[in-house]
Amino acid sequence: MRFVGIDLHANRFTRRYRNETGGAKETKRFELNEAGIAAFFKTVGSAACVLIEATITSLGFARLIRERVQEVITADTYELKWIEE
């Protein structure tokens, strides 16, 4: 299973995770539209556990991706800091 962190913005979002060997971090930005969501799904796969920072738009974003990933978790921003390290 791949753990993916999401940082939501007004019109785009950033996906971040470590590569399969636990080494380099991989970061990619997507537009918050149909094409961006489709491109996101191509990069994460259906076995992904997606962690979303808790913002006013988190629930709407979770509804957009919930059916296409294994799990969606909404967490306090400070709880997601481990993805950055």
Whether the CB-CB separation of 62 and 53 falls below 8 Å is answered with no
Residue-number span of the structural domain to which 39 is assigned:
3-83
Report the CATH number that the domain containing residue 48 is assigned in CATH. Answer: 3.30.420
* pLDDT, tens digit, 9 for 90 and up, residues 3-19: 888 989 889 999 988 66
* pLDDT, tens digit, 9 for 90 and up, residues 42-84: 998 888 899 898 888 898 999 999 999 999 999 887 765 655 5
Q: Compute the distance between CA of residue 76 and CA of residue 79 in angstroms, rounded to an integer.
A: 5
Q: 28 Cβ partners below 8 Å, 6+ apart?
A: 14, 15, 16, 43
What is the number of structural domains in the chain? 1
Beta strands in the chain (DSSP E): 3-8, 12-18, 25-31, 49-53, 71-75
This prediction's pTM: 0.79
